[in-house]
Structure 1
Amino acid sequence: MKRRSFVKASLLVPTIPAAAFAGTTSAQKTAREYYELRVYTLKDATQQQMVADYYQHAAIPAYNKTGSKNIGVFTELKPEGQTKLFVVIPYKSIEDFSSAKSKLMNDKTYIDAASAYLHAPATAPAYERIESSLLYAFPRMPEMATTTPDKPRIFELRRYESPTEAAGMKKIEMFNEGGEMDIFKKTGLDAVFYGQSLIGGNQPNLTYMLQFDDMADHDKSWGTFGSSPEWNKLKSIPDYADAKLISKITAIFLTPTSFSQI
């Protein structure tokens, strides 16, 4: 190739700054998971039992066969009235997410076990409504953390809503490149997953889940985080101010069902 042609062609290739690779870790090279967060609104204990039976005996075994492991099913720690059921389903790829339903519907064992749930009559439905969100794992935590289902725990599901898409992306940057996730870990805030909401209500937002031994552990860990010099230094950066990046925080406390894999 003549030098003039080479120079002309090289101008068409975008330049990637070396700094883009400086912070690359083995975690960032791992394919990021997707998480479906389902929230079931239920009117009574009968519906709650039907949905719980569906996940325990039909959905979880079937999803596990398709490659989705560590499925979490939770009830509210202190519900106001009838509890909702919260379900977290991990997927290794967007293709796994998009093909999951067809795989289940082609699984005869699943169809038989899920019959009461799938074919509940309109006069006695299995649930009132399902709200579903699709989350994309953060770069610095591309896979869900391993949990210990045989240990008594409570979970905190937190959603941060942002005033704009740009603010939402800045908050995600703060968690990842800014180091907020690292401060969480150092101060005892044990994350199960972090996810950017791609599809669902209350956009734009990010959602993450933490686990604790009990509420005393929860209060202690958050107190340690709040007084951390690293956290106070990070949040003092003008571009990372909560007033700019967060418009609403929702925290829900959950307990795992006896058959939850988280």
Structure 2
Amino acid sequence: MKRRSFVKASLMTGTAAIISPVMSKGIVKEHQYESAEFYELRVYTLKDDIQQKLVEDFYSQVAIPAFNKAGVEHVGVFTELKPEGQTRLFVLIPYRSLVHFNEVIVKLEQDKVFQQKGIPYLTAPATAPAYIRIESSIMKAFAHSPKLVVPPNKSRIFELRQYQSASEAAGKKKIEMFNDQGEIDIFKRLGFKPVFWGETIIGPSRPNLTYMVTFDDLDSKAVHWKSFVDDAQWKKISTVDGYSDALLVNKITSTLLLPTVYSQV
């Protein structure tokens, strides 16, 4: 019995070590991460309006109610502001933890209403698929911004930005810059209305971090980014030895998004 207890404890400890982020300083403080959320970002590539309507009907009428029932409070669904051809569809799903993520999967599998109402999407035939492809990522919220923040429900646009790094060490250093050097605080002080900040732990183009900020319109976006570039605190931390973007970031992608009428973010 004692040996079984020891083995069980060892397995639990090993699992915790795998899923806990390793901070760049090499020290993990449990209280900093215990309440951090996880985010799933799904990106749908669509062929035409028929596919877009099918996927959007699924989320607006079936998936979002089911996610809410399973304990997911806010599901965001977005289209591209300036698509090249058919828009992609972006779906943002927050989870309280990886345990909650698994619980939601199980609940949806057992939800008869979800399974029945979702048939047109879930069982779309190969001759008339619901989408071309789904690309999914799982992200861990930053310690300094552990919870998703829903912006005011008014006319708005979103910017989804991804910073890719050439190495894991560089990626951790950039996250350290946001968490420990005050970069997140600059965004908040300047009124960017950040929605989330996350490190991609599963997904393409790793290592990378992704975040989402909000603006009233394109003019507001231009004004806010100019204020950021001109900010004295930003200039100070960006010139600290080892923190220049040239060392830490080798690719930045920016996607402008519009929330759908049924989006909860």
TM value normalised by structure 2: 0.87
Paired amino acid for 1:52: E
- Residues 1:117 and 2:121 aligned together: yes
Shift in Å at residue 200 of structure 1?
0.2
- Residues 1:40 and 2:40 aligned together: no
Structure 1 contact 30–142 (Cα < 8 Å) conserved: no
Count of residue pairs brought into register by the alignment: 237
TM value normalised by structure 1: 0.88
Paired amino acid for 1:218: K
Shift in Å at residue 29 of structure 1?
6.8
Structure 1 segments of 4 or more deviating over 3 A?
A: none
How do 1:67-216 residues align onto structure 2 when only pairs under 5 Å count?
A: 67-149=71-153, 151-216=154-219
Give structure 2 stretches of 5+ with no counterpart: 1-24
Partner Cα distance (1:127, 1:208) in 2: 25
Match of 1:9 in 2: none
Shift in Å at residue 62 of structure 1?
0.5
CA offsets per residue over residues 114-141 of structure 1, 9 Å max, x none?
Answer: 1110111110000010000000000011
Partner Cα distance (1:89, 1:186) in 2: 26
Partner Cα distance (1:211, 1:241) in 2: 25
Identity %: 52
Paired amino acid for 1:88: L
Match of 1:260 in 2: 263
Paired amino acid for 1:100: V
Structure 2 contact 37–96 (Cα < 8 Å) conserved: yes
1:246 to 244, 249, 256: 249
Shift in Å at residue 217 of structure 1?
0.8
1:52 to 51, 56, 67: 56
Structure 1 contact 32–143 (Cα < 8 Å) conserved: yes
Shift in Å at residue 108 of structure 1?
1.1
Give structure 1 stretches of 5+ with no counterpart: 1-19
